[in-house]
């Protein structure tokens, strides 16, 4: 399958470096979730750190995590069991080394959180550990009942703000990663107050989270538009496993309202899933019933919705202790009460929603990407931990472990490199074809030969395109897929891309839509290439797993035509500021037919 080029240029916008403010730092962290914050805490004080977040630092996918964080904290549990559970969920695509590293280092990272003031829930003087789907033991630590993510976020932010060598820019959208001679060296950043600026760094950590907003039904906050995947792809980093979007089985379904995650822990406590007639259907669908892995539960729910011609199924907790449930899940209790529902006795309408991207930027065990100068951690990566399906509550653990590992590796790398002046590319070095030939109308980018944001006078309704894309992805690239649907998705996304991607926008709505279209192309291409069903990737035309597909789909942007090596125009020292003033979708080596993006 072949797409047209996802973007006819290297950067989303044209810019003249001599017209923009420049900022310099040792380490640039993009993203304020658990991976980015943990990495910032691990950078030694002799290195300057700048954290850039798309919205307020309190807003990230981490903050919305309810269930908890998995770890071998009980003497009766064992590393080997957590490893086995993770490998079983991953359906043959986990990297065993990554799994072992995360599981064995995880408890120490959790104990660090406690030392930093995180208030986990305790019972009889010990952390109250619960069990969730796919786990063989109770090993999930939670905080404030069902507000684990908020509590972890609070503690991490409080500790980061005490560090004098760390600065934070909030409500700042990173438009693109800058590269010079094949190395990541900075970012083009925009916010409403300071406008566009260039931030140069000696090392960058990408921790921008996931892409759940590509789907109408999603547990993710509005900021999760896949920016990190698209920026890394444009910069030349390798991505892989982009066909694997995990769907959470139980998202509160109230027509017309925002979607809310109803944590896995509800089923861990004994909640049942019933159809519109009150029939409990999971025991016949899987031996573990409601505690089956998420992909199995999501497919079973989708099948039952189709069989009963009903838009949802129902979560039933009426047989459990009401007082305990309200104390254990105060956030869910409050959400349900908004809609006049008592979750301890009323059937709660739920359906699956896009929850977590298992694929992403390829990283090694230290968070290094294939692009020199760029590290990554958290949901934006494909670390090998999750394989084809993520075990519940392993995501926060991954962010902690890989955030810490990336920080150590960055510090070691910079210690080996003398702190000389940063070399800043010229206009030609960044992207001469784009910068000279296509310029945006926004002041602060480039004043030369501006082009209108809507050059063809199309009168585009970006919200309509965005919502149409989200509906299409849910319909054709959702829980169940087939060649016909994927081909239709490809045709439609390619059509939108033909007239949206060439436009040079000057506002975040345009840039995020372009990122979403690029990520959608990568996901569709990967899903089309994998002609089997494995984990969260289920194809009705290839309903069984195949041993020939015990391998990965990888993606990397081809060089643009006549893309030159960069030139040099100015240098700046770390800490200084210049105010006057750069897929090919391939199966793994032995796999099928490559496609061109």
From 141-145, 230-234, 254-258, 485-489, the region with the lowest mean pLDDT:
254-258
Q: 317, 334, 354: which is the final residue of a domain?
A: 354
Q: Round the CA-based radius of gyration of the chain to a whole number and report it.
A: 23
Do 335 and 469 lie in a common domain?
Answer: no
Between residues 591 and 359, the one the model is more confident about: 359
Residue 547 CB-density burial (10 A; 0-12 exposed, 13-18 middle, 19+ buried): exposed
Q: Is residue 126 part of a domain?
A: no
Q: Per-residue pLDDT averaged across 141-159, rounded? A: 93
Band (567; pLDDT cuts 50, 70, 90): very low
d(CA 179, CA 577): 19
pLDDT score of 67: 76
Do 330 and 431 lie in a common domain?
Answer: no
With contact defined as beta carbons under 8 Å apart, do 527 and 485 qualify? no
Helix 79-90, helix 96-115: angle, nearest 10: 120
With contact defined as beta carbons under 8 Å apart, do 53 and 33 qualify? no
Q: Per-residue pLDDT averaged across 569-590, rounded? A: 30
Q: What are phi and psi of 130, to 5 degrees?
A: -120, 170
Q: Per-residue pLDDT averaged across 526-550, rounded? A: 96
β-strand pairing of 195-206 with 22-30: parallel
d(CA 241, CA 156): 29
β-strand pairing of 272-274 with 313-316: antiparallel
Whether the pLDDT of residue 547 is over 70: the answer is: yes
pLDDT score of 424: 58
Question: Mean pLDDT across the chain, nearest whole number?
Answer: 86
Q: Which tens digit of pLDDT belongs to each residue from 497-507? A: 999 999 999 89
pLDDT score of 295: 85
Q: Is residue 134 part of a domain?
A: no
Q: 311, 336, 354: which is the final residue of a domain?
A: 354
Do 345 and 426 lie in a common domain?
Answer: no
Do 558 and 476 lie in a common domain?
Answer: yes
Q: What are phi and psi of 389, to 5 degrees?
A: -165, 135
Q: What are phi and psi of 529, to 5 degrees?
A: -70, -40
pLDDT score of 15: 82
Do 346 and 453 lie in a common domain?
Answer: no
pLDDT score of 425: 56
Band (290; pLDDT cuts 50, 70, 90): very high
Q: Which tens digit of pLDDT belongs to each residue from 31-61? A: 999 999 999 999 999 999 999 999 988 888 8
pLDDT score of 513: 98
Say which CATH number the domain at 272 has: 3.90.700.10
Q: Which tens digit of pLDDT belongs to each residue from 308-335? A: 999 999 999 999 999 999 999 998 999 9
Q: Per-residue pLDDT averaged across 544-556, rounded? A: 94
- Residue 142, C-beta contacts closer than 8 angstroms, at least 6 positions apart: 67, 68, 69, 120, 121, 128, 130, 148, 265
d(CA 372, CA 364): 12
CA dihedral sign of residues 322, 326, 329, 334: positive
- Residue 530, C-beta contacts closer than 8 angstroms, at least 6 positions apart: 243, 537, 539, 549, 553
Q: 335, 354, 373: which is the final residue of a domain?
A: 354
Longest dimension (CA), the chain: 71
d(CA 380, CA 403): 12
Tokens of 227: 């920016």
With contact defined as beta carbons under 8 Å apart, do 228 and 54 qualify? no
Number of domains in the chain: 2
From 123-137, 385-399, 557-571, the region with the lowest mean pLDDT:
557-571
Q: What's CA 281's distance to the chain center, in Å?
A: 32
Kindly give the residue spans of alpha helices, DSSP state H, lying in 438-482.
Answer: 462-476
Q: Which helix (H) or strand (E) holds 405?
A: helix 395-416
d(CA 302, CA 304): 5
Q: Is residue 177 part of a domain?
A: no
Q: Is residue 446 part of a domain?
A: yes
d(CA 251, CA 261): 5
From 141-150, 165-174, 509-518, the region with the lowest mean pLDDT:
141-150
Band (14; pLDDT cuts 50, 70, 90): confident
Q: Is residue 95 part of a domain?
A: no
pLDDT score of 158: 96
Q: What are phi and psi of 61, to 5 degrees?
A: -60, -35
Do 574 and 449 lie in a common domain?
Answer: yes
Q: Per-residue pLDDT averaged across 482-501, rounded? A: 96
Helix, strand, or coil (residue 244)? coil
pLDDT score of 134: 85
β-strand pairing of 381-382 with 183-191: unpaired
Band (3; pLDDT cuts 50, 70, 90): very low
pLDDT score of 422: 58
Q: Domain range spanning residue 299?
A: 252-354
Q: Is residue 479 part of a domain?
A: yes
Q: Which tens digit of pLDDT belongs to each residue from 412-423? A: 999 998 765 555
Segment of 336-345, 434-443, 446-455 carrying the highest mean pLDDT: 336-345
Q: Which tens digit of pLDDT belongs to each residue from 82-91? A: 999 999 999 9
pLDDT score of 351: 95
Say which CATH number the domain at 467 has: 1.20.58.100
Do 461 and 556 lie in a common domain?
Answer: yes
Do 564 and 479 lie in a common domain?
Answer: yes
Whether the pLDDT of residue 407 is over 70: the answer is: yes
pLDDT score of 420: 59
Helix, strand, or coil (residue 101)? helix
d(CA 416, CA 236): 25
Do 458 and 339 lie in a common domain?
Answer: no
pLDDT score of 561: 58
Do 440 and 347 lie in a common domain?
Answer: no
From 241-250, 296-305, 554-563, the region with the lowest mean pLDDT:
554-563
Question: What positions carry a catalytic annotation?
Answer: 294
Q: Per-residue pLDDT averaged across 568-589, rounded? A: 30
d(CA 354, CA 342): 25
Give the residue among 13, 23, 18 at the shortest CA–CA distance from 425: 18
Q: Is residue 158 part of a domain?
A: no
Do 456 and 554 lie in a common domain?
Answer: yes
Q: Per-residue pLDDT averaged across 254-280, rounded? A: 91
Do 435 and 572 lie in a common domain?
Answer: yes
With contact defined as beta carbons under 8 Å apart, do 243 and 530 qualify? yes
Whether the pLDDT of residue 433 is over 70: the answer is: no
Q: Is residue 451 part of a domain?
A: yes
Give the residue among 105, 104, 99, 113 at the shortest CA–CA distance from 78: 104
Tokens of 310: 């009903």
């Amino acid at each position: 399958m072949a797409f047209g080029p996802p973007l006819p240029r290297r950067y989303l916008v044209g810019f003249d470096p001599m017209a923009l403010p420049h900022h310099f730092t040792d380490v640039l962290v993009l993203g304020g979730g658990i991976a980015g914050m943990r990495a910032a805490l691990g950078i030694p004080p002799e290195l300057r750190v700048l954290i850039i977040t798309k919205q307020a630092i309190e807003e990230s996918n981490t903050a919305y995590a309810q269930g908890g964080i998995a770890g071998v904290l009980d003497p009766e549990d064992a590393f080997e069991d957590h490893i086995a559970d993770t490998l079983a969920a991953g359906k043959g695509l986990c990297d065993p080394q990554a799994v072992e590293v995360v599981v064995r280092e995880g408890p120490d990272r959790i104990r660090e959180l406690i030392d930093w003031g995180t208030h986990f829930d305790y019972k009889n003087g010990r952390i109250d550990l619960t069990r969730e789907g796919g786990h063989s033991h109770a090993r999930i630590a939670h905080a404030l009942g069902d507000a684990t993510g908020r509590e972890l976020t609070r503690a991490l932010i409080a500790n980061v703000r005490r560090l004098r060598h760390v600065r934070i820019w909030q409500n700042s959208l990173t438009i693109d990663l800058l590269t010079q001679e094949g190395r990541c060296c900075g970012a083009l950043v925009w916010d409403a107050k300071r406008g566009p600026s260039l931030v140069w760094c000696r090392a960058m950590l990408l921790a921008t989270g996931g892409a759940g907003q590509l789907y109408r039904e999603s547990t993710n906050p509005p900021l999760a538009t896949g920016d990190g995947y698209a920026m890394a792809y444009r910069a030349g980093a390798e991505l892989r496993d982009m066909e694997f979007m995990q769907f959470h089985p139980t998202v509160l379904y109230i027509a017309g309202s925002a979607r809310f995650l109803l944590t896995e822990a509800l089923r861990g406590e004994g909640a049942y899933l019933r159809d519109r007639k009150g029939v409990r259907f999971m025991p016949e669908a899987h031996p573990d019933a409601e505690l089956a892995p998420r992909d199995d539960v999501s497919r079973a729910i989708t099948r039952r919705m189709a069989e009963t011609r009903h838009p949802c199924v129902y979560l039933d907790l009426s047989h459990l202790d009401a007082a305990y449930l309200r104390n254990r899940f105060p956030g869910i209790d409050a959400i349900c009460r908004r809609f006049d529902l008592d979750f301890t006795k009323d059937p709660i309408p739920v359906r699956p929603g896009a929850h977590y991207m298992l694929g992403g930027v390829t990283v090694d065990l230290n968070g290094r990407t294939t692009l020199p100068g760029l590290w990554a951690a958290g949901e934006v990566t494909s670390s090998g931990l999750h394989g084809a399906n993520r075990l519940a509550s392993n995501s926060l653990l991954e962010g902690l472990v890989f955030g810490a590992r990336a920080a150590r590796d960055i510090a070691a790398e910079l210690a080996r490199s003398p702190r000389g002046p940063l070399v800043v590319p010229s206009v030609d070095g960044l992207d001469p074809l784009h910068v000279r030939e296509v310029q945006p109308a926004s002041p602060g980018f480039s004043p030369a030969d501006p082009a209108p944001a809507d050059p063809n006078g199309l009168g585009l309704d970006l919200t309509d395109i965005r919502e149409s894309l989200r509906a299409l992805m849910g319909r054709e690239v959702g829980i169940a897929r087939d060649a016909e649907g994927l081909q239709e998705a490809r045709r439609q996304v390619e059509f939108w891309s033909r007239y949206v991607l060439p436009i040079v926008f000057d506002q975040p709505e345009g840039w995020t839509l372009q990122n979403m279209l690029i990520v959608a192309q990568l996901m569709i291409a990967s899903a089309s290439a994998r002609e089997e069903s494995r984990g969260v990737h289920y194809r009705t035309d290839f309903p069984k797993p195949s041993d020939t597909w015990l391998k990965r789909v990888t993606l990397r942007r081809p060089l643009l035509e006549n893309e030159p090596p960069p030139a040099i125009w100015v240098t700046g020292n770390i800490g200084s500021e210049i105010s006057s003033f750069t897929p090919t979708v391939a199966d793994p080596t032995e796999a099928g037919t490559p496609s061109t993006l």
